[in-house]
Structure 1
Amino acid sequence: MTDDRHPLFKPLIFVGGLVFGFGLGFSQMARPEVVLNFLQFEDFGLVFVMFGAAIVSGIAFALLPRLRDRAPLTGDTYERRLKPFDRNVLVGGAIFGVGWGLSGICPGAAYASLGVGNVTILWALAGMFVGAYLQGYWRSRSTDAAPATAGAD
């Protein structure tokens, strides 16, 4: 399979990740104690960071499809991808929330936290990888079993 994306696609993704990580580090959101203080209603700085991100992404999602008919680097058309709100979304969100509350960090900020020298966050990252692996394993087993039971009717 050939990759027909723009040659700057991967370097720009890398630069975007660096900017995102720098923003998390600069806003102190890569420090679990700051996030835990937010979750304990002691520090509301995270609200301003989230509102800032929501405003920027909201403007981008509203304007880009009007300015261009296709994404500049991938050539894909802009479209909404609606996914159903089902049991998997509910359970996954609950597990994500519990993990976020226990570790004080979400996956993106965990990598940025490594960049600011928080080596103990490796435990949270290991938990994220194990959880993702187990979910993928469980999901693949449930999709493998579904056609077999459907054919038994």
Structure 2
Amino acid sequence: MKNIKFLIAGILFGIILSKTQVVSWYRIYEMFKFQSFHMYGVIGSAVLIGIVIIQLFKKGIIKDYLGNQINVKDKKKGFIRTLVGGSIFGLGWALSGACPGPMYVLIGQGALSVIIVLFGAMIGAFIYGVLSKKLPN
């Protein structure tokens, strides 16, 4: 029962993704064909909110859920790995019509074929975990 707040946050997140049509295959298709600003607006808003929240964590204004200060480290810079990782992510998103968050929402909505996509994402994450130490920095 002490983690009920995380369940509630997840349910609210799923409702928001569903109501804003972020889980809609048609909206994703429109985005990749540059026919609509909808998804770019949602993604841009998420990036801006993320930037603000990270800055608040760095300054110590907000803390984690236990009240502890979080030490946010700068990420390693790397053009090639960002290009390769982003391309693999984008290709998977374009082929499946779903990125990681909406996969769970789609399964919850009854689109059980997305379980195959979720399984593929888990395999990809597992492979990355195995190979990550061997990849160049």
TM-score by length of 2: 0.78
2:79 corresponds to 1:97: no
Q: How many Å separate the matches in 2 of 1:134 and 1:57? A: 27
Q: How many Å separate the matches in 1 of 2:132 and 2:54? A: 31
Deviation of the 1:45 alpha carbon: 1.0
2:131 corresponds to 1:127: no
User: Which of these two proteins has the greater Rg computed from alpha carbons?
Assistant: 1
Deviation of the 1:61 alpha carbon: 3.7
- Structure 2 partner of 1:83: 75
Which AA in structure 1 matches 2:74?
L
Alpha-carbon contact 2:32-2:94 (below 8 Å) kept: yes
Paired residues, number: 134
Structure 2: state its 5+ residue gaps: none
Higher normalized helix content (fraction of residues): 1
1:80 partner SS: coil
TM-score by length of 1: 0.71
1:97 partner SS: helix
Which AA in structure 2 matches 1:15?
I
Deviation of the 1:74 alpha carbon: 2.7
| 1:32-55 Cα distance to aligned partner (Å, 9 max, x none) | 222122111122211222233334
Structure 1: state its 5+ residue gaps: 1-6, 144-153
- Structure 2 partner of 1:17: 10
RMSD of equivalent CA atoms: 2.6
Residues 22 and 65 (structure 1), Cα distance of their counterparts in 2 relative to 1, 3 Å cut: same
Q: How many Å separate the matches in 1 of 2:15 and 2:56? A: 25
2:93 corresponds to 1:114: no
Give me the identity figure in percent.
26
Deviation of the 1:106 alpha carbon: 0.6
Farther-moved stretch of structure 1 (92-101 vs 49-58)? 49-58
- Structure 1 partner of 2:49: 56
- Which structure's relative contact order is higher, taking Cα pairs within 8 Å and 6+ residues apart? 1
Residues 59 and 135 (structure 1), Cα distance of their counterparts in 2 relative to 1, 3 Å cut: closer
